[in-house]
Amino acid sequence: MSGVGFLLIAVVVAAVGSLIVWVRHRKPTHFMSSVDDFQREMDALSTPPVPSTTPRPVRGVQDAEKRRLGGR
C-alpha cells in the first residue's frame, strides 16, 4: 500500500467520524424546537412551586403544663 492510499483511508475515516459527530450534535430543526427551547428557559427562570401542605399547629405552653400535671 502506498502512502497515498494510506492518506486516502485516513481522510475517509476522518470524514465519516466528523459526519457522525455533526449529525449527533446538531440542533433540532423541527417546527416546535424553538418553542421547546423557550419553554425550557422559562422553566429555569421561574420560581419553584410552593408546597400545598398546611403547617402543623404548634402546641402551646399551657398544653404542656396540663400534660405535666396530669390533666389538671
Tens-digit pLDDT profile for the chain (72 aa)?
788 999 999 999 999 999 999 999 887 777 788 888 889 999 999 888 777 777 666 666 566 666 666 655
Which grid coordinates are listed for 51?
408546597
Question: How many domains are there within the chain?
Answer: 1
Residue 33: per-residue pLDDT: 84
d(CA 44, CA 41): 5
Q: Which domain holds residue 59?
A: 1-68
Contact 27, 33 (CB under 8 A): yes
- pTM, two decimals, is 0.43
In Å, how far from its chain's centre is CA 6? 44
